[in-house]
Structure 1
Amino acid sequence: MITSATTELLPAILSRYTVDYPEVRLNIAGDLTTPQYIERLLDGRSDVGVIRGPLDVNEGLTIELPRQEPIGLLLSADHPRAEHLEIEMSDLRNDWFVSLPATLPAIIYSAGR
């Protein structure tokens, strides 16, 4: 899944970091699930992870939110909230959702690969 973290946030942070700390070698692991990132952070294989929430804070991890972004929501034209410009997630608590499972990699490869 291509997110603004992939296309905007990380390139800006990494560009600045490599200028400020040229002696540091970066190894980017981008094809992991959130649970895999957490495992790597907890066992010391990684120092930093950029993940999608929601996330329960584990002992030994600190969460920093560099920014918050709105999410998009697709509703059928006849959904009771289809005409609303803003919707609280709690308004949809009784609706069924189609979503990516938490176990998918953060980057989803194209079908042609």
Structure 2
Amino acid sequence: MAGYFEQEKTTNIKILLLNTPEDYPYRDIENWPHINGVFYSMEDQERVVNGLQGVLRGECYFTQKLVSYLITHSGNYRYNSTESALLTHREKEILNKLRIGASNNEIARSLFISENTVKNASL
């Protein structure tokens, strides 16, 4: 598992949705694998520039509403079969929430687990 994330970091490929319609369904956004940001068509230039700079620094860019949706409804993260067999359901839940930018504390609270459990699962 650690090798997978190391490879991910070295490729430095960012997946973004640009000029996204305001009514684009969250469940469709959730289906994009390893997405780093969603920029809506109505966002002003300054927010887009700041968001893109954040993504280049390794951050994710999502609206608060989208993050709330993903944290509470997400669970459809796509793993390949060999990775999936090595992970427990709980580890997949934790990694999915990390993927969308949730903090360790947010994950721990939403899954009713300790922050240490979150940290251990993400190693």
TM-score bucket of the superposed structures, by smaller chain? under 0.3
Indicate the structure whose relative CO is greater, using CA pairs within 8 Å and at least 6 residues apart: 1
Larger Rg: 1
Q: Which has the higher strand share?
A: 2
Q: Which has the higher helix share?
A: 2
